[in-house]
Structure 1
Amino acid sequence: MESGINLFRNLRINIFIYYFATVTGFLLLAYYFLNVLHVEDLYLFALVVVCVVILSGVFISKLAVDPLAEYVDDLQNLSKETLHELNLPISTITSTTQLLRKTTNDTKILKRIARIDTACQMLKERYNELDYLIKMQTNQALKEHFCVGELVQQRVAFLKKLYPQMSFNLSVNAMQIFGDKKGLSKVIDNIIDNGVKYSNTSKNINIEVKNNTITIKDYGLGMDEMELVRIFDKYYQSNKNMQGFGIGLNLVKRYCDKNNIELIFESTKNIGTTVELKFKEKQE
């Protein structure tokens, strides 16, 4: 973090110095041409000015972009190396818990193994998210054919382990699409996670896949009109005491806008919130 701050500080200083030197040099050049050499050919003067401007633009763009490109490249390499290193411990934990489960019938030990499995699945989720972000940054193709109903069932099965106190009521119809599966997984997780966080005393969340639409409904705290206006603002949280950074719904909105999905929020204070994801494009 400190190195990034220093990089941008030095970059600003270098650009300012170069810009100041360039403007000063240009003024001196203009003075020399007009007052010392007494050049009257304005076309020649204009040609010299254009050449100086082009050269200055090239140098200042290299000065600004090259350090940033190198910094981003280093971050991407670090992310890829971290991703590679994460794979080994996750695989080791998974294989070890499978062996332990086969060698014991003790209920307490099996419960502990189940908790380890859940933690390992959470690590896998972070692994997948990091892999997804790297592919997005490198503009790799992320779209594939998949069944939305099956994806929703998979996400709910995972979230049940994190929130065993919640009751997820599923109604799923077949819906095949060609799209960004990992991105949609993150969207579903974010919406359901918000429903759980703001569930208050209610333990029910209804999830339906029907007519090219995913509907997620909770019966929690709900929101008023003023909160609904701001829910997509980055870092906004209607309740500051809740865990999180206030970026989840901003990510959801950006994903939906990018993938031609209509995002509809309906909420009433102390009654609950309904979220609809309507896929605008014709589905298979």
Structure 2
Amino acid sequence: MPNKKYFLPIFLLYTITSSLFLIFFTLSYYKTEKDDIYKKTAYKLRAYANEIEFMLRINGSYEKILNLQNEYEINLFDIKSNRYIIKKFDKPEFKNKLYNDDRYMYYSDDIHSRKRMVELNLDIRTSSPKQSIDALFLRTSVIFVVVLLAIFIIAYFIVRLSYLPLLNQIKTLNNFITDTTHEINTPLSVILMSAEMFDKNPTKYLENIKIAAKTLSHLYSDLSLNLKNEPNHIETLNLKDILEKRIQMFELSAANKGITIISKFEDVEINTDSSKFKKIFDNLLSNAIKYAFKNSDVVVSLDSSTLSVVNHGNVIEKENLNKIYDKFSRFDTQNGGFGIGLSLVKRYCDDLGFEVYCQSANEKTEFSVKFKNNYKKLEIK
């Protein structure tokens, strides 16, 4: 369940505002439909009154009116003689033409027959549309509840889906800040301690200072490059010469863990960006040493189509293979790191038209960088 401190206010804000809109539209719909039912009933009563008036004007006979088969009851009152000609019900007192109570709806109006010689008062009564209105209320309530539940369910998933990535980013940023402090503090502590102990064993502590300084330089390089998006500067490179020089930089940190770096190189020249290629290799080799078992081998191979770096250590789980190039992704908390090295590798490989692959099984992990022969601007010589 997401952090309630952040999740609940967003969820409530979404559901409350949506519910208020739903209530407004539901009430508007109910009122409109209710008024429409009354209007239709009133219209039918007026139409029936007009029909009676028309019949009286044609022949002035009340018998046909009495014989009308209809759902309506009528009172017909002769105003001049002050007597009822037809009386089917007791009329309640009301001033307007239309009146409605819980059981009936009434319509009352004056009509004329025989060319306005006879003035009559007509009252019509029919069943109240309350039953139809109750049905409307029930139908509207059911729709309201269903839609409200749908809003809550949709709100939960929308807020969850939109909020969790943000929460993960905040968590990642917090971890990044913590890791940054730790990663920088470790080599600084080594430098300070080695400086204090330098007189006792200058050679040993000088090497420690060199390793710590290179570690800091590597961390700074990763952080600064991660914020930049440099264009390619293409030149012809001899990869074998570059790799041999880069390996020398890592021999000390490898020896510290009893790791032997084995090189298997062919002479390869390609047109590519020197800085980005070096950063690709440095990160792959640095990771290989960092995550390798102590007293094991790291094998670096180069041929005309592929650069590969192999180490022996804990495997990367299959479900994580597609995530290792994501920025700040880390799946081994014991060895530290920012989780940006492989992100840079992937980004620079994309920039240079290379393809990077990872295979991990049986305590062996291999990263391969494929030089694409069909890449027009960076073709292999």
Provide the TM-score with structure 1 as the length reference: 0.54
2:248 maps to 157
Aligned partner of 1:12 in structure 2 is none
Q: Does 2:318 match 1:225?
A: yes
Q: Do residues 276 (structure 1) and 368 (structure 2) align? A: yes
Distance in 2 between residues matched to 1:168 and 1:189, nearest whole Å: 13
Q: Tell me by how many angstroms 1:132 deviates.
A: 6.7
SS in 1 for 2:271: strand
In structure 2, the CA distance between the partners of 1:169 and 1:242, relative to structure 1 (3 Å rule), is: same
The structure-2 alpha-carbon separation of the partners of 1:142 and 1:238, relative to structure 1 and needing over 3 Å to count, comes to same
Residue in 2 aligned with 1:203?
296
CA-to-aligned-CA distance 1:121-159 (integer Å, 9 cap, x gap) = 55666787789779x65x565222211111111111101
Q: Check conservation: 1:198, 1:222, Cα contact below 8 A.
A: no
Percent sequence identity over aligned pairs: 24
Match in the other structure for 1:265: 358
> What are the equivalent positions in structure 2 for 1:58-207 lying under 5 Å apart?
108-118=201-211, 137=229, 142-164=233-255, 165-201=258-294, 203-207=296-300
Rg larger for:
2
Provide the C-alpha distance between the structure 1 equivalents of 2:316 and 2:370, rounded to a whole number of angstroms.
21
Q: Deviation digits for residues 45-86 of structure 1, max 9, x if unmatched?
A: xxxxxxxxxxxxxxxxxxxxxxxxxxxxxxxxxxxxxxxxxx
Going from structure 1 to structure 2, the CA distance change for 1:221 and 1:121 (only over 3 Å counts) comes to closer
**Conserved in 2, the CA contact under 8 Å of 1:208 and 1:216?**
yes
Residue number in structure 1 paired with 2:86? none
Tell me how far apart the structure 2 counterparts of residues 140 and 230 of structure 1 sit (CA, whole Å): 26
Aligned in 2, Cα 1:172/1:256: closer, same or farther, shift over 3 Å? Answer: same
Change (3 A) 1:244 1:114: closer
Paired AA for residue 159 in structure 1: F
Q: Provide structure 1 residue ranges, at least 5 long, that are not aligned to the other structure.
A: 1-105
Instruction: Determine if the alignment matches structure 1 residue 243 to structure 2 residue 327.
Output: no
Aligned length: 176
- Give secondary structure in 2 for the equivalent of 1:229: coil
Q: Is the 8 A contact 1:202 1:220 kept in 2?
A: no
In the alignment, does 2:346 pair up with 1:253? yes
Structure 1 residue 238: Cα displacement? 1.2
Q: Tell me, which stretches of 5 or more residues in structure 2 are unaligned?
A: 1-198, 374-378
